[in-house]
Amino acid sequence: MELTETTIPNLLAGIDKTIAPGVGFCMLIGTTRQGTRLLQEDPEEPLPLAEMIRITNSRLVRIWWSLNPPSEPMDLLFCCHRRNDTEDSTPPPSEIRFAPRV
- A 10 A CB-CB count for 48 gives 11
Q: Which residues pair with 78 in a beta bridge?
A: 28
- Number of domains the chain contains: 1
Instruction: Determine phi and psi for 14, rounding to 5 degrees.
Output: -65, -40
Residue 75 has pLDDT above 50, yes or no: yes
CA distances, 88 to each of 32, 78, 83 (Å): 29, 20, 12
Residue 69 lies in a domain: yes
Residue 74 lies in a domain: yes
Residue 102 has pLDDT above 50, yes or no: no
Give yes or no for a contact between 21 and 99, defined as CB atoms under 8 angstroms apart: no
Residue 70 lies in a domain: yes
- A 10 A CB-CB count for 62 gives 14
* Per-residue pLDDT tens over the stretch 6-15: 888 888 888 8
Residue 99 lies in a domain: no
What residues make up the domain containing 40? 8-79
Q: Averaged over 26-42, what is the pLDDT?
A: 86
Q: Which residues pair with 54 in a beta bridge?
A: 29
